[in-house]
Amino acid sequence: MAKWVYMFTEGNATMRNLLGGKGANLAEMTNLGLPVPQGFTVTTEACTQYYEDGRQINDEIMKQILEAIDQMEVITGKKFGDKTNPLLVSVRSGARASMPGMMDTILNLGLNEEVVETLACASGNPRWAWDCYRRFIQMFSDVVMEVGKKYFEELIDQMKAKRGVKLDVELTADDLKELAEQFKAEYKEKIGTDFPTDPKEQLTEAIKAVFRSWDNPRANVYRRDNDIPYSWGTAVNVQMMAFGNMGDDCGTGVAFTRDPATGENGLFGEFLINAQGEDVVAGVRTPMHISEMEEKFPEAFVQFKQVCETLEKHYRDMQDMEFTVEHGKLYMLQTRNGKRTAKAALKIACDLVDEGMRTEEEAVTMIDPRNLDSLLHPQFDAKALKEATPLAKALGASPGAACGKIVFTADDAVEWAERGEKVVLVRLETSPEDITGMKSAQGILTVRGGMTSHAAVVARGMGTCCVSGCGDIAMDEANKKFTLAGKEYHEGDCISLDGSTGNIYDGIIPTVDATIAGEFGRIMGWADKYRTMKVRTNADTPHDAVKARELGAEGIGLCRTEHMFFEGNRIDAFREMICSETEEEREAALAKILPEQQGDFEKLYEALEGNPVTIRFLDPPLHEFVPTEEEDIKKLADAQGKTVEQIKTIIDSLHEFNPMMGHRGCRLAVTYPEIAKMQTRAVIRAAINVKKAHPDWNVKPEIMIPLVGDIKELKYVKKFVVETADAEIAAAGSDLEYEVGTMIEIPRAALTADQIASEADFFCFGTNDLTQMTYGFSRDDAGKFLDAYYDAKIFENDPFAKLDQTGVGKLMEMAIELGKPVNPSLHVGICGEHGGDPSSVEFCNKIGLDYVSCSPFRVPIARLAAAQAAI
């Protein structure tokens, strides 16, 4: 019979898939003999089963849950719902991968009117009893019944105002009792029934709510951003409560064994006296630094330091822990490998190698390639920063440089960002509902909250700059304004944030590009040592090529020649070519373009210093380039000696109903061979010149014919490319070698790859078009319906960002299997957007690609992902 429930004593850290991260680690800590309040875990499989059963907990699972409660009663000596010695529990979600703040937790479950009364008397601590009860009603209502948090918060604020106090802890037992009454009334008003009193019913509803929360919108967004499959489900942990809210010899804290922002080795965290659960992260009071705990709770602190050491040695990684002190006694509530900034991740991985805890290979696998992105973004210009005076200094919660216009709500952040504005989101504090807004912002600034507040944790996870806890701000959220350093700021005003120092500046401070040095360089060095697949870049200009080389690119996998035409007044000659009516007119225009292209290619070869350069011939529909402004049309007409009307007629004739499937790619070369011939001349002449100047470089152009679907297309175009190239080489008396290959981006090309390989020196998977044509939907229009596809669980990811391994991937595998036997020297790469996506890179490694090619800033990500795939 299936086992759906495990006591903490029955699990261990390797059972993460089944017990979730939190459950597996609670079990592991129990096994290590650490002080963990005992309890049990309902498995992730039970969650999946719950959904299969139509969102019901079936009888078998329910039976095992009730048996586990019985066992808990034996272990703790307390009884669920008992009036003299009641068992109170927390109900906590815990997926395989941690999803901080994404799902919900309920504390103090098991209380009702009678239990709380006896608890208040028996403990001699009525304030504590009523505090627990009001918290429980609040959390249960919010999490289980979805009565918004804000109603309860308003009632608390009213109560505080009435009593003339500022902090929750200043409310008395009677105040809290009154609040509990108000909360229950609020519940009844919103839900229509009385607040449930039977602890078993409370528990069942709470477990269902956790299962349900797996499918809530913010969890779905988080999963999509973090590559967590929907099918994993979440586990539920039911755990005896430890109370940090029983008085001033109690408290609760969150700590890291190393600094999650910088990676510095040393205890880092926050602690709040007389508090419970989320108080530390919710920012209701500003917590104290963990070091102060040493003075207030010397014994618990010593023990805690030992626990930290034990856990770090055991997991061989930086730990993020939650704990509670109840009457001076320490209880461990959670440990996990801590989330960290990219900068901290690099430092910690290097330190762990130096400390002998990890091997180089392990260090490489410890870094999430996606997080490197934040390090590759611009930093503040050091000189400008020095000259600027900060308005204020708060906590540097997530590093990076952010500047932009102020917005006050998550929705505004999304809206402004969509219309291309750079924004900084300024909030009193953030909550999980703000996640999409936080994603859209350059940076986040909060008035309340510490280093472990929601904003800080989520921002670090996203690699977004965040400055938190700026108490100097006098906030007026309702009127979208705040005052700081004597100045009033309104929506749309500019500020800059330094997420490393916590400094806040007026206006926009200029930024500079990032470089790979120090620990970043060390890790990348190890990555290069262990990877087998090459990493090239998609670069169209010498500037991008130089940048990509700095970031470690070993060649150009895709140079889109058409992008060169937008520079300066080159577009004029290009338009003349497009709007030509005879071959002679076209030749004349091409003659103007040839030297420009040749010059560009020379600069590219120079930048690449003998590394391979793949140049793709003209690909897009010509209509994209025609003039639309009257003035430009007139200019073109004059240049061509034609009337404006004639030019307009030509432009109209170029219009296509479905341009992405229209007159583009090799079809252009078939209809206008002179274009491909000109491009061949430019490529070959440039290569000959650069080779002459640098005889030691291996200059060997790779000419790539796009959008081939039939071997005959390739043959036809290749013939005059080869004729032209060979004539150029002979005329120059050079011994230059070159290759002619093709993009595989039409499904028919993949299906007939054996034929195509007989004519191609290389394949390069253009997975943007291949995805578009395999699915049959346009990459430019998919945005309109993808959200509906996510909601309906048809897609979990954007197939244009994350390779569809099942379908598109199958075509790729097939093409390689068909092509290689026909042409054993065939080299194969990918140059779609997917070349910089870690999970897609892993797939490319698996199916035996020689290289991936991605945009310059993704090169380090691809290098690391390729190493992880190889290790």
User: Which residue is it, tokens 């590009």?
Assistant: 513
DSSP state of 699: -
Q: Looking at the DSSP assignment, which residues form a beta bridge with residue 614?
A: 702
Please say which residue, 17 or 778, places its beta carbon nearer to ligand ADP. 17
Rounded CA-CA distance 811/498 in Å is 46
Write the binding mask 272 to 311 for ligand ADP: x where contact by CB under 6 A, - elsewhere.
-----xx---------------------------------
Binding segment for ligand ADP among 97-105, 658-666, 699-707, 838-846 (CB under 6 A)?
97-105
Q: How many residues does the chain have?
A: 871
Nearest Cα neighbor of 682 from 564, 555, 558 is: 564
- Residue 831 known to be catalytic: yes
Q: How is the chain split among helix, strand and coil, in percent rounded to 5?
A: 50, 15, 30
Q: Look at residue 665 and give the partner it binds from ligand ADP, Mg ion, none, a contact being a CB closer than 5 to 8 Å depending on partner kind.
A: none
b/e map of 380-401 (b: 16 or more CB within 10 Å)? beeeebeebebbbebbbbbbbb
Binding segment for ligand ADP among 57-65, 156-164, 240-248, 719-727 (CB under 6 A)?
240-248
DSSP alpha helix (H) spans, 32-148: 44-52, 59-76, 113-123, 126-139
Q: Look at residue 743 and give the partner it binds from ligand ADP, Mg ion, none, a contact being a CB closer than 5 to 8 Å depending on partner kind.
A: none
Q: Which of 334, 341, 442, 840 binds Mg ion (CB under 5 A)?
A: 334
Binding segment for ligand ADP among 9-17, 100-108, 186-194, 372-380 (CB under 6 A)?
100-108
Please say which residue, 322 or 837, places its beta carbon nearer to ligand ADP. 322
Q: Look at residue 519 and give the partner it binds from Mg ion, ligand ADP, none, a contact being a CB closer than 5 to 8 Å depending on partner kind.
A: none
Q: Quick one: which H or E segment has residue 481?
A: strand 481-484
Cβ proximity of 717 and 670 under 8 Å: yes
Minimum distance from residue 239 beta carbon to ligand ADP (Å): 4
Minimum distance from residue 257 beta carbon to Mg ion (Å): 16
Q: Quick one: which H or E segment has residue 544?
A: helix 542-550
Please say which residue, 87 or 852, places its beta carbon nearer to ligand ADP. 87
Query: Does 322 participate in binding ligand ADP (rule CB under 6 A)?
Result: yes
Q: Residue 461 to residues 98, 213, 334, 343: CA-CA distances in angstroms? A: 11, 20, 18, 12
Rounded CA-CA distance 204/109 in Å is 11
Q: Look at residue 509 and give the partner it binds from Mg ion, ligand ADP, none, a contact being a CB closer than 5 to 8 Å depending on partner kind.
A: none
194 Cβ contact list (under 8 Å, min separation 6): 184, 187, 188
Query: Does 90 participate in binding ligand ADP (rule CB under 6 A)?
Result: yes
Looking at residue 723, its amino acid is E
Of residues 102-141, which lie at the interface with ligand ADP (CB under 6 A)?
105, 107
Query: Does 37 participate in binding ligand ADP (rule CB under 6 A)?
Result: yes
Other C-beta atoms lying within 10 Å of the C-beta of residue 7 = 17
700: left (phi over 0), alpha (psi -120 to 50) or beta: beta
Does 464 belong to an annotated binding site?
no
Q: Quick one: which H or E segment has residue 503?
A: strand 503-506
Cβ proximity of 557 and 851 under 8 Å: yes
Does 649 belong to an annotated binding site?
no
Minimum distance from residue 105 beta carbon to Mg ion (Å): 4
Please say which residue, 322 or 602, places its beta carbon nearer to ligand ADP. 322
Query: Does 239 participate in binding ligand ADP (rule CB under 6 A)?
Result: yes
Q: Residue 477 to residues 30, 473, 569, 633: CA-CA distances in angstroms? A: 45, 11, 49, 51
Does 798 belong to an annotated binding site?
no
Binding segment for ligand ADP among 233-241, 286-294, 374-382, 492-500 (CB under 6 A)?
233-241
Q: Residue 181 to residues 90, 141, 683: CA-CA distances in angstroms? A: 22, 13, 81
Query: Does 242 participate in binding ligand ADP (rule CB under 6 A)?
Result: yes
Rounded CA-CA distance 187/192 in Å is 8
Q: Look at residue 819 and give the partner it binds from ligand ADP, Mg ion, none, a contact being a CB closer than 5 to 8 Å depending on partner kind.
A: none
Minimum distance from residue 131 beta carbon to ligand ADP (Å): 13
Binding segment for ligand ADP among 132-140, 238-246, 402-410, 460-468 (CB under 6 A)?
238-246
Helix 16-31, helix 44-52: angle, nearest 10? 150
Q: Looking at beta carbons, which residue is closest to Mg ion? A: 105
Nearest Cα neighbor of 838 from 813, 867, 810 is: 867
Does 316 belong to an annotated binding site?
no
Please say which residue, 340 or 534, places its beta carbon nearer to ligand ADP. 340
Does 745 belong to an annotated binding site?
yes
Q: Given the residues 250, 308, 350, 454, select the one marked as catalytic.
A: 454
Q: Residue 370 to residues 139, 264, 659, 832: CA-CA distances in angstroms? A: 34, 22, 34, 17
Of residues 92-111, which lie at the interface with Mg ion (CB under 5 A)?
105
Q: Look at residue 333 and give the partner it binds from Mg ion, ligand ADP, none, a contact being a CB closer than 5 to 8 Å depending on partner kind.
A: ligand ADP
Q: Looking at the DSSP assignment, which residues form a beta bridge with residue 854?
A: 537
Please say which residue, 101 or 196, places its beta carbon nearer to Mg ion. 101
Cβ proximity of 565 and 626 under 8 Å: no
Please say which residue, 149 or 480, places its beta carbon nearer to Mg ion. 149
Cβ proximity of 759 and 738 under 8 Å: no
Write the binding mask 415 to 444 for Mg ion: x where contact by CB under 5 A, - elsewhere.
------------------------------
State the Cα torsion 309-315-317-318 to the nearest 10°.
-50
Of residues 580-609, which lie at the interface with Mg ion (CB under 5 A)?
none
Query: Does 92 participate in binding ligand ADP (rule CB under 6 A)?
Result: yes
Q: Given the residues 350, 466, 666, 831, select the one marked as catalytic.
A: 831
Q: Which of 41, 334, 335, 598 binds ligand ADP (CB under 6 A)?
A: 334
User: Which residue is it, tokens 């009730």?
Assistant: 66
Please say which residue, 65 or 241, places its beta carbon nearer to ligand ADP. 241
Query: Does 324 participate in binding ligand ADP (rule CB under 6 A)?
Result: yes
Minimum distance from residue 422 beta carbon to ligand ADP (Å): 30
Please say which residue, 219 or 666, places its beta carbon nearer to ligand ADP. 219
Cβ proximity of 617 and 561 under 8 Å: yes
Q: Look at residue 600 and give the partner it binds from ligand ADP, Mg ion, none, a contact being a CB closer than 5 to 8 Å depending on partner kind.
A: none
Please say which residue, 191 or 282, places its beta carbon nearer to ligand ADP. 282
Alpha carbons within 13 angstroms on the beta-carbon side of residue 600 total 26
Minimum distance from residue 482 beta carbon to ligand ADP (Å): 28
Query: Does 561 participate in binding Mg ion (rule CB under 5 A)?
Result: no
The residues annotated with a catalytic role in the active site are 454, 831
Interface residues with Mg ion (CB under 5 A)? Answer: 105, 322, 334
Extract the annotated binding site for Mg(2+).
745, 769
Extract the annotated binding site.
560, 616, 745, 766-769
Extract the annotated binding site for substrate.
560, 616, 745, 766-769
Interface residues with ligand ADP (CB under 6 A)? Answer: 37, 90, 92, 100-101, 105, 107, 239-242, 277-278, 322, 324, 333-334
